[in-house]
């Protein structure tokens, strides 16, 4: 069979291509070409005022702007040595719930499910199953509406600041979403049931899973960076365990652990490491699914996203119930020179930021490690593992299976433009 | 009589995907939209691709690589109407901040082997490279405006987009002026409406996502802002932000910088 080539990957965020070179029935070359151009955020963040940073980093990714705002805000709050109020923290979690709902509903139904149903897109699916697609759109819309109520708009919301929020969202506007969220919880539970009926390609990988872990809640903001190999680091220690390198011959920044392993971040890592912290309905859905953890099939990250969708609808309901804005929405900041790191769980995995600021609050140094940058070496290794299974398939099916694998990671290529022409050659 | 649906291609250049996402976020209208137009190429939404020519090309992102210069010419050659979608496409976007700095130095900061990168020293709007038929500003665009543009095109009429500044939107939603009331720097008076004045409504200043409004007095705006700066250089940074490379904003930022240098 011929080489597998996908010049332009569809239904991913950002643009990239895929090439698998075969020789005598073996994959000899795998290349994930990221032609998404570099935008130099870490360059132009320097000499900006710290309060501008969340607005600027949001623009790294239109699909998960909240994650970029949150990691930046926490890193800068750590640099100043301040902690936001418990109410502001609860609102940050609610805002994150909204982003998870919007992003996971988009990925499950519009980006990945078409592969499992033999469709080119959700729009094509809408022709024969309009009710499923309408339900999916409503599931997604509720996340966007909640984001809008908190942040003014769903893409690049404007309410997050270093120190908390600019102002408390209107209580009535937040509470009015309650019936929609209750509907969404049921629809999310149905999503898990639907996800369990799909037939997933077989692939099991012995991953090292890495995610934020918090003893009292499903790890999203704050906590420790936990690895399934037992390594537990504080967020401030992240860079002692996980290293980003510009690898010779690969033209790419490459994340790996200190002991040179690839590792996986994202929904599978979170579910496997943090399932005990799931909300009751999500935990029940997981138990009833009969899934044995750790879940090791990358294609089945769709199921993990489904369970998380239940969790975040459920958590959003609780937070909306408890929402009662009191006191100032943000703390007053006293500027001083410092350095701080922050990590939160973007829907597609751990997102780490570190900044140095001077005494006037101007950024001197910025470092951003996006989830997809950490996952790309793993995607490439998965493609090698997949190759022997697909080389005897008809070409179209082989191509789709490889493409589907990349899509199942929900890669955000716009975020990860540290990667250019990832190239692996077997010598 | 049933007309043939116009074919539409959606392209991405240097950007965050947020404006394309605004199309997918039309949860209430998306299925009606695909009844009215024929999506022939839209990578973020579908694997299905049909070759051009197309009736409408919607372009997200700015031009930042030599390859993109070639690609955008190809887009023009294939489309009857080209729409630049969002502030990257209309003004170069946030990545145009490199235009005021040394892009090579940025590459050295971010990458260990900058020699592997292919990039231009500037990030430029689509209209600097090809003829653009319609520009829709916003970071991100307002999806109601996207729908208005598509509906206008389908009906062969001019789209109805607000020509005024953010100030009027504040008045409409009864937001007290943050400059007057709280002394918060805000460039809403010189920024195009379209967002719904969400920032002042939250008690913060506008930072210019929708680009400069027409015929505005940026000198007066800058003079006022300089008196109320919360940190040194805030006025320049407000103009040199999301829409910083838009001519109106970049001119005033340059002027403020050169006069403050003279003053020193």
Q: Which two tokens stand for residue A245?
A: 């390198």
Query: Which of A249 and A259 is assigned the larger pLDDT?
Result: A259
**How high is the pLDDT of residue A253?**
62
A and B: number of Cβ contacts within 8 A: 193
β-pair partners for B81:
B56
- Measure in Å the smallest separation between the Cα of B219 and chain A Cα atoms: 23
Q: Which residues of B touch A421 (CB under 8 A)?
A: 116
Q: Which residue has the tokens 């430029």?
A: B124
Contact B46 A10 (CB under 8 A): yes
Q: Would you place residue A422 in the very low, low, confident or very high pLDDT band (cuts 50, 70, 90)?
A: very low
- DSSP per-residue letters across B85-117: ESHHHHH--GGGGGGGS-HHHHHHHH-S-GGG-
Of B15, B24, B202, the CB nearest to A159: B202
State which residue of chain B sits closest to A12, comparing Cα positions.
Answer: B44
Q: Which residues of A touch B195 (CB under 8 A)?
A: 152-153
State which residue of chain B sits closest to A62, comparing Cα positions.
Answer: B18
Q: Which residues of A touch B40 (CB under 8 A)?
A: none
Q: Which residues of A touch B204 (CB under 8 A)?
A: 158, 161, 166-167
- Alpha-carbon distance of A391 to A395, in angstroms, equals 8
Q: Which residue has the tokens 């790191």?
A: A341
Burial of B137 (0-12, 13-18, 19+ CB in 10 A): buried
- Measure in Å the smallest separation between the Cα of A377 and chain B Cα atoms: 17
**Is the predicted pLDDT of residue A18 greater than 90, yes or no?**
no
Query: Which of B2 and A397 is assigned the larger pLDDT?
Result: A397
Contact B110 A155 (CB under 8 A): no
On whether ipTM exceeds 0.90, the answer is yes
Mean pLDDT within B222-243: 97
DSSP reduced 3-state for B123: coil
Span A331-388, pLDDT tens digits:
999 999 999 999 999 999 999 999 999 999 999 999 999 998 899 889 989 988 998 8
Mean pLDDT within A407-423: 59
State which residue of chain A sits closest to B43, comparing Cα positions.
Answer: A10
- Measure in Å the smallest separation between the Cα of B16 and chain A Cα atoms: 5
Q: Would you place residue B48 in the very low, low, confident or very high pLDDT band (cuts 50, 70, 90)?
A: confident
Q: Would you place residue A32 in the very low, low, confident or very high pLDDT band (cuts 50, 70, 90)?
A: confident
Mean pLDDT within B129-140: 98
Span B174-190, pLDDT tens digits:
999 999 999 999 999 99
Enter the pTM of the model.
Answer: 0.94
The beta strands (E) that lie in A235-382 are given as 242-247, 252-257, 338-346, 349-357, 363-369
Exposure string over A174-210, b if 16+ CB within 10 A, otherwise e: beebeebbeebbebbbebbebbeeeebbebebebbbb
Span A285-294, pLDDT tens digits:
999 999 999 9
- Best residue in B44, B63, B175, B185 to probe A by mutation, most A CBs within 10 Å? B44
Span A359-375, pLDDT tens digits:
999 999 999 999 988 99
Total residues found in chain A within this entry: 427
Q: Which residues of B touch A110 (CB under 8 A)?
A: 24, 45
**Is the predicted pLDDT of residue A248 greater than 50, yes or no?**
no
How many C-beta neighbours within 10 Å does residue B95 have? 28
- Give the residue among B137, B140, B206, B138 at the shortest CA–CA distance from B169: B206
- Measure in Å the smallest separation between the Cα of A36 and chain B Cα atoms: 7
Contact B22 A65 (CB under 8 A): no
């Amino acid at each position: 069979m011929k080489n597998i080539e996908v010049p332009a990957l569809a239904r991913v965020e950002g643009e990239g291509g895929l090439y698998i070179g075969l020789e005598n029935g073996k994959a000899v070359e795998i290349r994930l070409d990221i032609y998404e151009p570099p935008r130099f955020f870490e360059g132009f963040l320097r000499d900006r005022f710290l309060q501008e940073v969340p607005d600027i980093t949001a623009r790294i990714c239109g699909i998960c702007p909240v994650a970029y705002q949150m990691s930046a805000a926490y890193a800068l709050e750590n640099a100043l040595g301040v902690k936001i109020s418990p109410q502001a923290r609860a609102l940050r979690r609610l805002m994150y719930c909204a982003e998870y709902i919007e992003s996971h509903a988009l990925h499950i139904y519009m980006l990945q499910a078409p592969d499992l149903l033999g469709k080119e897109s959700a729009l094509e699916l809408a022709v024969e199953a309009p009710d499923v697609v309408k339900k999916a759109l409503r599931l997604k819309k509720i996340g966007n509406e909640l984001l809008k109520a908190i942040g003014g708009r769903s893409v690049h919301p404007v309410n997050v600041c270093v120190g908390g929020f600019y102002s408390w969202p209107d209580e009535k506007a937040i509470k009015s979403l309650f019936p929609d969220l209750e509907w969404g919880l049921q629809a999310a539970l149905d999503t898990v049931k639907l996800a369990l009926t799909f037939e997933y390609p077989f692939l099991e990988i012995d991953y090292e899973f890495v995610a934020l872990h918090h003893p009292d809640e499903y790890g999203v903001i704050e906590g420790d960076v936990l690895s399934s190999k037992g390594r537990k680091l504080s967020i401030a220690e992240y860079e002692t365990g996980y290293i980003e390198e510009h690898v010779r011959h690969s033209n790419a920044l490459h994340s790996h652990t200190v002991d040179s392993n690839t590792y996986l971040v994202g929904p599978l890592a979170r579910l496997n490491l943090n399932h005990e912290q799931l909300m009751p309905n999500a935990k029940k859905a997981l138990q009833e699914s009969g899934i044995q953890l750790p879940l090791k099939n990358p294609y089945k990250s769709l199921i993990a996203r489904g369970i998380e969708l239940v969790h975040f609808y459920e958590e959003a309901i609780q937070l909306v119930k408890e929402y009662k804005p009191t006191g100032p929405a943000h703390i007053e900041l006293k500027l001083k020179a410092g350095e701080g790191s922050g990590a939160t769980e973007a829907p597609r995995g751990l997102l780490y930021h570190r900044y140095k600021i001077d005494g006037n609050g101007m950024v001197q140094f910025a470092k951003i490690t996006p989830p997809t940058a950490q996952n790309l070496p793993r995607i490439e290794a998965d493609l090698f593992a997949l190759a022997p299974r697909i080389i005897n398939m008809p070409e179209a099916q082989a191509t789709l299976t490889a493409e589907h694998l990349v899509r199942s990671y929900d890669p955000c290529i716009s975020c990860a433009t540290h990667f250019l022409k990832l190239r692996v050659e077997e010598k | 009589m049933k007309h043939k649906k116009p074919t539409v291609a959606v392209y991405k250049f240097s950007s965050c995907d947020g404006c394309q996402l605004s199309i997918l976020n039309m949860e209430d209208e998306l299925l009606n939209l695909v009844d009215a137009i024929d999506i022939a190429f839209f990578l973020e939404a579908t694997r299905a691709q049909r070759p051009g020519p197309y009736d409408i090309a919607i372009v997200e992102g700015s031009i930042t690589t030599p390859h993109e210069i070639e690609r955008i010419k190809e887009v023009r050659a294939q489309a009857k109407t080209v729409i630049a979608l969002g502030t990257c496409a209309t003004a170069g976007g946030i990545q145009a901040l490199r235009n005021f700095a040394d892009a090579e130095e940025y590459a050295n900061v971010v990458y260990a082997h900058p020699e592997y990168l292919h990039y231009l020293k500037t990030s430029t709007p689509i209209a600097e490279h090809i003829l653009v038929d319609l520009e829709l500003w916003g970071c991100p665009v307002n999806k109601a405006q996207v729908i208005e543009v598509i509906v206008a095109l389908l009906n062969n009429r001019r789209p109805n987009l607000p020509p005024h500044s953010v100030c009027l939107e504040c008045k409409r939603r009864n937001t007290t002026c943050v400059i007057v009331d709280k002394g918060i720097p805000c460039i809403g008076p010189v920024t195009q409406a379209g967002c719904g004045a969400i920032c002042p409504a939250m008690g913060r200043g506008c930072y210019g996502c929708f680009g400069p409004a027409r015929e505005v007095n940026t000198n007066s705006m800058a003079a006022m802002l300089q008196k109320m700066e919360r940190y040194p250089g805030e006025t320049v940074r407000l103009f040199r932000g999301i829409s910083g490379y838009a001519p109106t904003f970049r001119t005033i930022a340059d002027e403020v910088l050169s006069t403050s240098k003279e003053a020193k």
